[in-house]
Amino acid sequence: MLDLRIPSGLFFAITGMILLGLGVIDPGLRAPLTPVNINLYEGTVMVGFGAFLLFLARRAHRRA
């Protein structure tokens, strides 16, 4: 049976990489009311969360 953490982790990691790339390539592209590059920070968090889910799925697969 497929562990749900694998597709969820891939989704968050890929979406986070896209946001992270946008934040690095075009730092001027940001939310209008904030001086912060939200794409960069949120992309970093999403990549980290996706990697964490993939780590948990791999660890559970090794134990089984």
- Tell me the C-alpha distance between 63 and 42, whole Å: 32
Give the pLDDT of residue 16. 98
Q: Please report which confidence band the pLDDT of residue 33 belongs to, taking 50, 70 and 90 as the band edges.
A: confident
CB distance 5 to 62 below 8 Å: no
pLDDT at residue 18 is higher than 80: yes
Q: What is the pTM of this model?
A: 0.88
User: Dihedrals φ, ψ of 4, to 5°?
Assistant: -70, -15
For range 17-26, the mean pLDDT: 94
Of residues 24 and 31, the one with the higher pLDDT is: 24
